[in-house]
Amino acid sequence: MSRRAAALLAIAFLAVAAYAIVRLIRHEQGVQPAIVTPAMDAQQEISPSLAGHIKRFFRERVTYGNRRGRPKLIALTFDDGPYPVYTPLLLDELHTLGVPATFFLIGRDAQQWPELAQRIARFGNEIGDHTYTHPNLDAESDDAVRGEIVQGARALAAIVPAATVYRLFRPPHGRYTVATIRVAQRLGYDTILWNDDPGDWRSVTAAELTEHMERHATAPEIVLLHSGKLATIQALPQVVARFRAAGYRFTTVSGLLEAVPVPQINHPGKRAV
């Protein structure tokens, strides 16, 4: 082997190694896929080995420094509830703004407030499964995880029209393991996580939420929000206006999946609004 060939081989090896190390570091910092479908390798997507990172490097062929042309689509998702007072306020604001959304409802809460779950569907939003009792699934057995998903789905199916309930699952608190995702996969669910968590589950202001979403905007994007937060409702007019002014279109998670390949959602382009 010539010196030039050996040098090129060494450079290629170092590039792959550097990429794999960076991906491993990013994973340790909490980076996750936005979507895991039933067809995907859950282990590879959530906690890949070094060899898995290298395999992904060659398979994806993504130029991470240049993702121009990615569609400016954004899906607002709202976890928990439904809740009296805040959920109706949220629905009214979304309806006024003409923004469809995806609601991940807790089955037990939907049973307590069925008319609110029905109103979510009636306003043109879609509904996903957020389990029946909202437990920490990373501490549950496979059978318990399955029971939570199935019971949650049954509760929703008894309340709202079937056409509004999608096989979309989000683990409560963002807590899950590879085994959790595999249970959802066996049940035929897409596990929906997110590209951005503005932190409305904390005590934050509407202005802070808006600033965060602008600063962390990607294309395409799934945003994690919550149903029972006044600051979130107050932030929506500014958020919607600014994203629309930047050329974004609001859609549901299922609409996003129909329009954009999953790898583009999991590896979106960075956009400043």
Point out the residues that are catalytic.
Answer: 79, 226
Owner of token pair 């282990």: 43
Distances (CA, A) of 271 to 192, 194, 204, 217, 227: 21, 16, 23, 5, 26
Q: Are 147 and 11 in contact (CB under 8 A)?
A: no
CA–CA dist 151, 140 (Å, integer)? 15
Q: What is the sign, positive or negative, of the torsion defined by CA atoms of 53, 57, 63, 68? A: negative
Taking alpha carbons only, the member of 20, 8, 18 closest to residue 54 is 20
